[in-house]
Amino acid sequence: MCFASFQEGKTSWTVADAVDYKGYPADKSKTGGWVPAALILGIEICERLSTMGIAVNLVTYLSGTMHLPSSSSANVVTDFMGTSFLLCLLGGFLADAFLGRFKTIVIFAFIQTLGTGTLALSTKLPNLRPPPCHAHEECKEANGFQMGILYLALYLVALGTGGLKSSVSGFGTDQFDEKDEAEKTQMAYFFNRFFFFISLGTLTAVTVLVYIQDEIGRSLAYGICSISMFIAILVILSGTKRYRYKKSAGSPIVSIFQVLVAAIKKRNMDLPYDINMYYENTPEGTRIHHTNQFRCLDKAAVVAEGDFVKTGSGSTPNPWRLCTVTRVEEVKMMARLLPVWATTILFWTAYAQMITFSVEQASTMERSIGGFNIPAGSLTVFFVLAILLTCAAYDCLIIPFWKKWKGTPGFTDLQRMGLGLILSTFGMAAAAVVEMKRLSVAKSVGGTPHGGSLPISVFMLIPQFFLVGAGEAFIYTGQLDFFITRSPKSMKTMSTGLFLTTLSLGFFMSSFLVSVVKKVTGSHNGQGWLADDIDHGRLDCFYGLLAILGVINLVVYLVVAAWNKKEEKATEMVEVV
């Protein structure tokens, strides 16, 4: 809500829950709006340029220059991406509890700049990589020191990415007042443009940046990332006086732990027969009504001896012993998200194959068009195209049709996530079929020639990229909608971080599956499904395994989605009563 204040003989409008860089209430005429938001979007482009520019083509560097086995190369990439998204929780915690979003963005942007600079140096200096391979000679794998410098660079980038992703979108929305209808409409456009800029950064990374890496030099490409991020930092700092800053309300992680600790301390107590006996002092307008689900947590709201601490003006409850019903219900709402959270992880495991093994497949296939040779990593451009085409088709065709037929604006969040899981499963099945064809060609010609390619078009990989890319368009927007709209207002940042951990765990699960499959199937001449050279392995079987796991996971998801829908209706009935 806005209120008028009188300053220097004139009236100015200020935003009630935001301050300017001096700590005064933010003047709407001097702060916020599209100009500051645009400055913030610039740093998101550079973050996507760096992270995706590294990830989509890193596997070819690890196998071709550092001479790592294909499975090890894939795991390095998935561990890097998994850590990047997992560190979003750390970035979100620091922003909520200590630094605020603006300082978090600036600090972690500097860390990512340092990481890309270190990566440029590690790919430039000859001593930081093994000698090149020659025909009929055994390749020398990178030593511990060389890999150590590479890991240092990668995980500095991962740390920077985690801090940035946790705060950039939130700080952008801080520039608009939700209680002002005009600015609320602008905020809706901000989300669309934010997603557009993510896609633009990714598109630039998988085309221009990958081409520079392959045809000119990786050190130049990573140097461009470092310089562009540094420029983005200067740009975002230039708007310091124009931003609106939201005061930190503390980390919701602490609130969750307080409920859990209080419930554990009172685990032996009986629950009261009357729900009115639970402790509640939350203002009426913001209270959440009691529900019967997860009743073990209700014990945190049972009043017992020693729950209050004496103060000078009376007594206050010890939050580690006594929590309000609203606080307990907030934790219950977060707990209801977990089953859906768990069943969407596998999608990102399938996604991980598109930037690892699929890129390795592309590196062995015919990629020339006329006189131009397409970089293997640039095949991921079909990801971005699939996302953009799916979003356009959904907005222009599906939503109007669905609204006319069903009366609702498009698919629900649960339906979109289900579609994403279905498409990724088909994508893995298509990948298995294509790999069977590629392996038959490799066998017929005696394997991929040194420095050459197999007589099979790389465009056969397009179906798997398009299917998984279209699946991402549905599942990403569905997850974002689900985790934000179904979480308590005070834990929106926490729920966004929970959503991003599905990406992280999906990449880590990919590393785990690769390690297990490598160990279990490695009895055949030490190669197995995931051989050091994919021409001697059975990558098609690995893709088939992921397709089967996808079917099983989809069945579980449908059960979870039905349960979630049932509980949602039950909760609505309780609130009406």
Specify the CATH number for the domain of residue 46.
1.20.1250.20
pLDDT of residue 237: 92
Q: DSSP labels for 217-284?
A: -HHHHHHHHHHHHHHHHHHHHHTGGG--EEPP---HHHHHHHHHHHHHHTTTSPPPSSGGGS---S-G
7 in any annotated domain = no
pLDDT of residue 136: 63
Least reliable range by pLDDT among 98-112, 174-188, 348-362, 391-405: 174-188
Note whether 369 and 341 are same-domain residues: yes
Residue type present at position 560: V
Determine the Cα angle at 178 with ends 496 and 30, to 5°: 110
Looking at 214, 249, 284, the residue that finishes a domain is: 249
pLDDT of residue 575: 47
What is the distance between the alpha carbons of residues 402 and 394, in angstroms, rounded to a whole number? 10
- Specify the higher pLDDT residue, 169 or 352: 352
Note whether 201 and 219 are same-domain residues: yes
pLDDT of residue 7: 40
Note whether 427 and 323 are same-domain residues: no
Strands 308-311 and 314-317: antiparallel
Nearest to 78 by CA among 342, 472, 354, 341: 354
1 in any annotated domain = no
6 in any annotated domain = no
Q: What is residue 488's three-state secondary structure?
A: coil
Note whether 477 and 551 are same-domain residues: yes
DSSP structural state of residue 127: G
Determine the Cα angle at 560 with ends 554 and 565, to 5°: 125
pLDDT of residue 523: 60
Q: What is residue 355's three-state secondary structure?
A: coil
3 in any annotated domain = no
User: What band does 1 get if pLDDT is binned at 50, 70 and 90?
Assistant: very low
DSSP structural state of residue 312: T
Q: What is the mean pLDDT of the chain?
A: 84
What does the pLDDT average to over 128-147? 82
pLDDT of residue 569: 55
Note whether 350 and 394 are same-domain residues: yes
User: What band does 549 get if pLDDT is binned at 50, 70 and 90?
Assistant: very high
Query: Residues of the chain with pLDDT > 90: what percent?
Result: 31
Determine the Cα angle at 27 with ends 22 and 32, to 5°: 90
pLDDT of residue 8: 39
pLDDT of residue 372: 76
What is the distance between the alpha carbons of residues 343 and 506, in angstroms, rounded to a whole number? 10
Specify the number of domains making up the chain: 3
Note whether 521 and 449 are same-domain residues: yes
Domain that holds residue 225: 12-249
486 in any annotated domain = yes
pLDDT of residue 224: 92
What is the distance between the alpha carbons of residues 546 and 550, in angstroms, rounded to a whole number? 6
- pTM for this model (two decimals): 0.79
Q: How far apart are the first and last CA of the chain?
A: 29
What is the distance between the alpha carbons of residues 425 and 470, in angstroms, rounded to a whole number? 12
What does the pLDDT average to over 197-202? 79
User: What band does 413 get if pLDDT is binned at 50, 70 and 90?
Assistant: confident
Beta bridge partners of 27: 14
What is the distance between the alpha carbons of residues 416 and 481, in angstroms, rounded to a whole number? 10
In a 13 Å sphere around the CA of 321, the CA atoms on its Cβ side amount to 10
Note whether 362 and 312 are same-domain residues: no
User: What band does 249 get if pLDDT is binned at 50, 70 and 90?
Assistant: low
User: What band does 12 get if pLDDT is binned at 50, 70 and 90?
Assistant: very low
3-state percent helix, strand, coil for the chain, nearest multiple of 5:
70, 5, 25
562 in any annotated domain = yes
Q: DSSP labels for 135-169?
A: TTSPPPPP-HHHHHHHHHHHHHHHHHHHHHHTTHH
pLDDT of residue 524: 54
Note whether 189 and 284 are same-domain residues: no
pLDDT per position as a tens digit, 17-73: 778 888 888 888 788 888 888 888 888 888 888 888 888 888 888 988 898 888 888
Looking at 333, 364, 379, the residue that finishes a domain is: 333
Residue 92 has pLDDT above 60, yes or no: yes
pLDDT of residue 188: 60
Note whether 344 and 329 are same-domain residues: no
Residue 15 has pLDDT above 80, yes or no: no
Query: Residues of the chain with pLDDT > 70: what percent?
Result: 91
Nearest to 458 by CA among 388, 339, 573, 366: 366
Q: Which helix (H) or strand (E) holds 450?
A: none
pLDDT of residue 262: 93
Least reliable range by pLDDT among 138-152, 308-322, 428-442, 464-478: 308-322
Phi, psi (deg, nearest 5) at residue 30: -115, -15
Looking at 304, 333, 362, the residue that finishes a domain is: 333
Note whether 168 and 274 are same-domain residues: no
Note whether 507 and 409 are same-domain residues: yes
pLDDT of residue 119: 93
Q: Which two tokens stand for residue 402?
A: 């669905």
Note whether 298 and 242 are same-domain residues: no
289 in any annotated domain = yes
Residue 195 has pLDDT above 80, yes or no: no
**In angstroms, how far is CA 332 from the centroid of its own chain?**
24
Helices (H) and strands (E) in the chain, counts: 18, 10
Q: What is residue 433's three-state secondary structure?
A: helix
Residue 11 has pLDDT above 50, yes or no: no
- Residues comprising the chain, all counted: 577
